[in-house]
Amino acid sequence: MMQGKNHWVLFFCMLMLMVMPGCTRDALPQNPTAAFLDEAWVAYKGVFIKPEGYVWDQARREVTSEGQSYALLRAVWMEDRATFDLVFNWTEAHLARPDGLYSWQWTPDDGGRVIDANTATDADQDITFALILASRAFQEPAYLERARTLLTAIRLHTGIMLPAGWIPGAGNWAVAERIINFSYFTFYAYPAFASVDPNGEWLGVRERAYDLLSQFLSTPGVLLPADFAVIDEAGAFMPVAGKGKLSDSFSFDAMRIYWRVALDCLLNHHLRACSDPSRTRNIVDILARDGTIYSRYSVTSKKESNDTSVSFLGSLMPSLGLAYPQIAKALVDKELSPEKLRPIIRNPDRYYDNNWTWFGLAAWSGFITSKISAKSEP
């Protein structure tokens, strides 16, 4: 992956000149990728979604609530009710917990069993959002009722209190130690949650989540969000070191923040989301410096890995499209074109890359916002 680095650095230096003052900032691109998104979805169903309805991550040999949530979002945006029902029914039958949330990890071994019954709040929220969208797209009230029970369960079993109000913790396991994951904040979904669960103060949750992101990125020397953090009762950040294997670096979790924020701007036109609170400029500076985005950095932007993953470029794409459209378009043409991605979409070891390139292109190209069922306002 290191070959051609000098060429990449020159490439990004030229792009930086394009976004200097005086350069024209184009509107978001037309939707040139809809046909490929459909092709990729068909391939994904054939490779990753098993006939029973679970998403199989072959590289990690696991089934997760995250994987189920991604399939549900993609199915509703593709208006594919048959796949949505298949995946949702399996998820309900095998991952649903008595408290209304979902266990995060399952294996088909030994006839199928839950490996870890703890929850992952990102998946619980994305499943909830998918259910709300599906209730409208497929005219199915039962989906909305299940979404409502999920929202109540998220509040009751993952909520962490701050002076200004509550926020979702990283899972049921994270409440006592007050552990959060910035990429678990589904900013784009909170207006829809507020309409379904008026007692949940979800719009306040959205503002508090933005406050925390801004507070963290305003720390001297900090340029990138961390995967996990600890927040004390006064609202101050504490080191996550010593909390098991939780990462305090910028890596495969934190890279999703940019997509989640950009989607809030694209779907809801929320001022804070559209003001680039995740500071995409820092990503552009890293691209110019390193010639690519590596898969792990310290929050001060020190490179901690020589590996790369196109999932990072995918997740960054809508944010770059909003703030630096020329760079976004150049990256799509060079790294996320159908020709580049076709070998990946049929590779059973590329679960994460498949999902985040699809999500990134779908948001960047306008595909998601073009779907009536994707509107987050009722």
Does the pLDDT at position 377 exceed 80? Answer: no
Helix (H, G, I), strand (E, B) or coil at 180: strand
Model pLDDT, residue 32: 59
Alpha-carbon distances, residue 206 vs 22, 108, 109, 188 (angstroms) = 34, 36, 39, 9
Q: What is the mean pLDDT of residues 229-258?
A: 93
pLDDT in tens, 30-89: 455 889 999 999 999 999 999 999 999 999 999 999 999 999 999 999 999 999 999 999
Where would I find the beta strands (DSSP E) of the chain? Answer: 63-64, 105-107, 113-116, 159-162, 165-168, 179-180, 229-231, 237-238
pLDDT in tens, 173-184: 999 999 999 999
The tokens of 198 are what? 């008026």
pLDDT confidence tier of residue 239, bands split at 50, 70 and 90: confident
Whole-angstrom Cα distance, residue 376 to residue 322? 19
pLDDT in tens, 338-360: 999 999 999 999 999 999 999 99
Helix (H, G, I), strand (E, B) or coil at 272: helix
Mention every residue, 6+ apart, whose C-beta is less than 8 A from residue 109.
none
Whole-angstrom Cα distance, residue 372 to residue 77? 9
Does the pLDDT at position 245 exceed 90? Answer: no
What region, left, alpha or beta, does residue 180 occupy, with left being phi > 0 and alpha being psi -120 to 50 degrees? beta
> Could you tell me the pTM of the whole model?
0.91
The hierarchical CATH code for the domain 34-374 is 1.50.10.10
Cβ atoms of 131 and 149 within 8 Å: the answer is no
The tokens of 31 are what? 């939707």
pLDDT confidence tier of residue 373, bands split at 50, 70 and 90: very low
pLDDT in tens, 273-313: 999 999 999 999 999 999 999 999 999 999 999 999 999 99
Residue 57 CB: number of other CB atoms within 10 A?
19
